[in-house]
Amino acid sequence: MGKGVKSRFVCTECGYEVSKWVGKCPGCGAWNSMVEQVRGGERERGERRGGSGVVWLPEVVAQGEERIVTGVGEFDRVLGGGLVRGSVVLVGGEPGIGKSTLVLQVAARLAGGVKVVYAAGEESVGQVAARAARLGCGKAEVELAAETQVESLEALLRQRRADVVVVDSLQMLYSPQMGSAPGTVNQLKFCAYELAQWAREQGGVVLLVAHVTKEGVIAGPKQVEHMVDTVLYVEAAEHNLRILRGVKNRFGSVDEIGVFEMTGKGLVEVAEVSRLFLVQREGGVPPGVVVAPVVEGSRAFLVEIQALTVPAKSGVSRVYAGSIEPARVSRVAAVLEKHVGVQFGSQDLYVNVAGGLRVQEVGVELPLAMALYSARTGLAVPAGLVVVGELSLAGEVRAVRDLRRRVRTARELGFERVVSPPGDGADPLLVVRNVKEAVRAVFGAGG
């Protein structure tokens, strides 16, 4: 090995780096996942491209964002108005969830206004064409290329003067310079870097498709998230719904979500979502169920939070929640124990959001508390009532953003009684300032 060239060992599962080989990765615990990688090649290539000059910040002319509107409204909504020239977008999701369908539909909508190249690594061009025909976009002016070597792909993009390139998928790209199999961390980083350089030098846009693990984490490409400008996840919900969620966006907000329905003709946009996640049932509301108005970006809609408490099977209380963070469920349960006196120490807690929607905003904490209280006591929440608010560790109910819009949406859907903190001039019917007042307002004398 030449002078100045150093080696390292990198885990192919999580990207953890060590200077000497070990059998078990210290980062993720995987066995025999450490592979040797040589430093030097990347640095020399970067030195050829980079410069060491500096400029004064006041002398730099700020450049505006030139966006390309894709024509897929829900996709543009999550991006913040469209694709930004010179950027890289990473689209992740479980296998079969609709990532390739989404990017192919986006590419077809773009074609005609800009030059689009679709680089198929996992399928042949014939398979891509057949899928495009099924989606009704077989006549779109998209150039197909079965190319997986990043240097050849970059040369092709320069030759074709492409504006947008779709790479399906990042795990299939490789470079002979790296000397390792496609999909390894070193290959992913190098290929992502090369395509990012092309995008910034040529003013193009790169759409990278990446797979995630069963735990919902982008496998391998997690290591390149810092190299891209936007990271989008495609999540599955009930009734063939797909949720497009931004977790990183240098050119817009990460609060927006896009809602699609998977059909025989591909992904169809769902613009009206206010009542999409409500459960239609006959009779009264069962214990453990609370309706909450939530806000995602520019949208307000209602969701049904469901809670169930049962005696702990192992003697130790556990939380089972996929739609709401388990840590948040445990914290809300602890607040109820401290300030209301309801005991959960001997109970297993099950929490779900109807429709499979993953909710992250703080406005669901008070309705979650009411759902847990209802499930533990067997007292049902009255029909026609919604609950919203953030819950502090001191048991206080704190204000939430866009309260007026939440209340308006609830009333439009027939919910006249709103339990909420004061604020925003929304004039809700039942104002509460702490969790005890909330219990009395929702459950009355029975609480």
Annotated binding site for ATP: 93-100
CA distance 103 to 236: 16
CA neighbor of 390 nearest in space, from 373, 402, 382: 402
CA neighbor of 249 nearest in space, from 240, 239, 258: 258
Strands (E), 139-179: 142-145, 164-168
Are residues 229 and 239 in contact, defined by beta-carbon separation less than 8 angstroms?
no
Residue 424 one-letter amino acid: D
Structure tokens at 15: 């990207």
Residue 396's SS3 state is strand
Bond before 169 cis per omega within 30 degrees: yes
CA distances from 382 to 251, 373, 403, 435 (A): 43, 14, 21, 17
CA neighbor of 13 nearest in space, from 167, 177, 217: 217
Are residues 366 and 304 in contact, defined by beta-carbon separation less than 8 angstroms?
no
Are residues 219 and 333 in contact, defined by beta-carbon separation less than 8 angstroms?
no
Residue 417's H or E segment, with its range, is strand 417-420
Q: Which parts are annotated binding residues?
A: 93-100
